[in-house]
């Protein structure tokens, strides 16, 4: 009997070790994982879609067919008014992905296995939460679509932005090995963005005037170098 009990205890311990390989964090310090780039959807439209949608950095977005949100057309990927009850609202130039439903989920799938994924999130809260809603949850899945870890944000790392406008909070999933193939998120109208205020990260492109100044500067440097070389030759002679 004791041997049997020890075997069960050992199996339970190993199960706990396996499930502890993924963790939730609220700090973006040192994050170097995949970055969400929604700059291509800063076009003023909701862009309802079930996907698949290819995003920069080898990320593919899809929404669960069983969801559909308020529109019945899939999740939101883009811009537009989006309410989250007591946690405020979103709109204007904020660019985000939103499940647009109290139930259902969406998925970000990576082109290669990663050890972490972090972004800025929020979800709907009400004084009297509808019982039919799912909890706002983000989950990590492996290459075989095996669950690595699921985290109920409302229970583990609540987000509170009372009456806020375009306010997100960072949440990330980390693994002690590169075994994350996808991130699934859903429940409570959860949405995510690349930045704390939803502004898309757009790489800076030099203006034409900047290019002109750069060419003038390079030309001047070349002129000085040629003049210096010529003077050196004359002095040597």
Mean pLDDT, the chain, integer: 82
Q: What is the largest distance, in Å, between two alpha-carbon atoms of the chain?
A: 102
**55 vs 32 pLDDT, higher one:** 55
Tokens of 172: 């990330």
DSSP assignment of the chain equals -HHHHHHHHHHHHHHHHHHTTEEEES--TT--S-----GGG-SS----B---EEETTTEEEEE-TT--TTTTS-BEEE-S-EE-BTT-EE-TT--EEE--SSS-EEEEEEEEEESEEEEEEE--B-SS--TTSPP-EEEEE-TTS-EEEEEEHHHHS----TT-BS--EEEEEEESSS-EEEEEEESTT-EEESSTT----------HHHHHHHHHHHHHHHHHHHHHHHHHHHHH-
Q: Can you tell me the mean pLDDT for 209-226?
A: 46
Whether pLDDT at 16 is above 60: no
What pLDDT score was predicted for residue 70? 66
What's the CA gap between 126 and 185, in Å, rounded?
Answer: 19
When mean pLDDT is compared across 14-23, 44-53, 117-126, 165-174, the lowest value belongs to: 14-23
What pLDDT score was predicted for residue 17? 38
Tokens of 195: 């930045």
Q: Which pLDDT band, with edges at 50, 70 and 90, does 146 fall under?
A: very high
Contact (CB, 8 A) for 156 and 24: yes
Q: Can you tell me the mean pLDDT for 19-36?
A: 89
Whether pLDDT at 12 is above 60: no
Whether pLDDT at 127 is above 60: yes
Percent of the chain with pLDDT over 70: 73
Whether pLDDT at 219 is above 80: no
Q: Can you tell me the mean pLDDT for 67-84?
A: 85
Q: Can you tell me the mean pLDDT for 142-153?
A: 97
Phi and psi at 24, nearest 5°, equal: -105, 140
Q: Can you tell me the mean pLDDT for 78-88?
A: 97
22-193 belongs to CATH 2.60.120: yes
What pLDDT score was predicted for residue 229? 52
Contact (CB, 8 A) for 206 and 214: yes
Q: Which pLDDT band, with edges at 50, 70 and 90, does 72 fall under?
A: confident
């Amino acid at each position: 009997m004791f041997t049997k009990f020890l075997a069960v205890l050992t199996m339970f311990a190993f199960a706990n070790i396996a499930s502890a390989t993924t963790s939730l964090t609220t700090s973006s310090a040192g994050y170097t994982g995949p970055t969400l780039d929604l700059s291509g959807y800063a076009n003023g439209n909701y862009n309802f879609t079930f996907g698949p949608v290819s995003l920069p950095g080898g990320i593919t977005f899809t929404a669960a067919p069983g969801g559909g949100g308020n529109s019945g057309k899939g999740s939101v990927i883009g811009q537009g008014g989006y309410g989250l009850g007591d946690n405020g609202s979103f709109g204007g130039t904020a660019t985000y992905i939103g499940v647009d439903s109290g139930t259902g989920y969406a998925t970000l799938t990576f082109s290669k296995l990663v050890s972490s994924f972090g972004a800025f999130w929020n979800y709907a809260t009400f004084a009297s939460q509808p019982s039919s809603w799912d909890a706002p949850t983000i989950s990590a899945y492996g290459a075989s679509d095996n669950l690595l870890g699921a985290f109920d944000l409302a229970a583990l790392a609540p987000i509170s932005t009372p009456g806020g406008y375009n306010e997100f909070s960072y949440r990330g999933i980390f693994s002690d090995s590169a075994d994350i193939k996808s991130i699934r998120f859903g429940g409570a109208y959860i949405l995510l963005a690349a930045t704390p205020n939803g502004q898309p990260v757009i790489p800076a492109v030099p203006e034409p005037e900047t290019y002109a100044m750069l060419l003038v500067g390079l030309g001047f440097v070349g002129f000085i170098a040629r003049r210096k070389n010529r003077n050196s030759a004359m002095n040597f002679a």
